[in-house]
Amino acid sequence: MSFGNRARRLLAGDQNGLLRWLAQLVSRHWVSLILVLAIVIVDLTIPWHGLSFVPRALIDEPCAVATALVVLGAITRFRGTPPDPKFGWSMLAWSVLIDIDHLPAEFGSSVLTEGTPRPYLHALWVLVVLIVTMIIARYWSRRAKTSVSAATVLILAGTAWGVFAHYLRDVATAPMSLWWPVTKAAVQVPYWTYVLELLIIVAIRPIHERKSLVEAQSAEPSDRTAVLQDGRTLP
């Protein structure tokens, strides 16, 4: 193995280990709550909406990543294990990269924003396309059974979750044409709903805890009979 290939493998291993460590960290409730608190403090104390593009991005994008980290923590906590790094890195990256569609407007072009408060890519149709493409890729992956096909599914799934996390924040911080191209009508929900949704996400418990609770409830003795040690039953 050449030095270059070995270096790339070591670097990939470090990145994967970093993602797993990060996912486990944010899966802790107190860490996620700190992220939510930081987001709220930034949004309520810094008037970033009135800033120019670069300063606004430097404030808003970290909050978008923090939102994605809260969602990543919930996914990790629910599963009981961190997701594949391809999924995790795609999710974190696209929680920010989706905002690339703002660039044409910043350079004076309305090609993506004609008649809408935000670019056309800031709409639910993008999520629908990603989910449908992921389903098709998953079907192909099961037939092809190659590492490339499996990686494609993970990347598409991570991208969809990253875009979802981004929209979760965006629709509460400024109007967006969520239903474009059906309608250009602007949609915005109250900011407190965004905070409440984050708190609900933070409250998600591991799935094995839910299974244990269901099993414990199903194992409880009937209300109508009680089994005694000597084998008799009481009505």
Distance CA 110, CA 112 (A): 5
Specify the pLDDT at position 13: 54
* Per-domain boundaries in the chain: 3-207
Specify the pLDDT at position 2: 53
Query: What are all long-range contacts of 170-174, with beta carbons under 8 Å and residues at least 24 apart?
Result: 170/64, 170/118, 170/122, 173/43, 173/49, 173/60, 174/49, 174/117, 174/118
Specify the pLDDT at position 204: 94
Whether the model pTM is above 0.85 = no
The model's pLDDT over 3-53, given as tens digits with 9 standing for 90+, comes to 455 445 544 556 788 999 999 999 999 999 999 999 999 999 999 888 888
Specify the pLDDT at position 14: 67
C-alpha dihedral, 8 to 11 to 12 to 16, nearest 10° = 170
Specify the pLDDT at position 50: 84
Specify the pLDDT at position 142: 85
Specify the pLDDT at position 213: 43
Average pLDDT of adjacent 10-residue blocks, the chain of 235 residues: 48 74 96 98 92 92 97 96 95 96 92 93 96 93 83 95 97 95 95 97 82 50 43 42
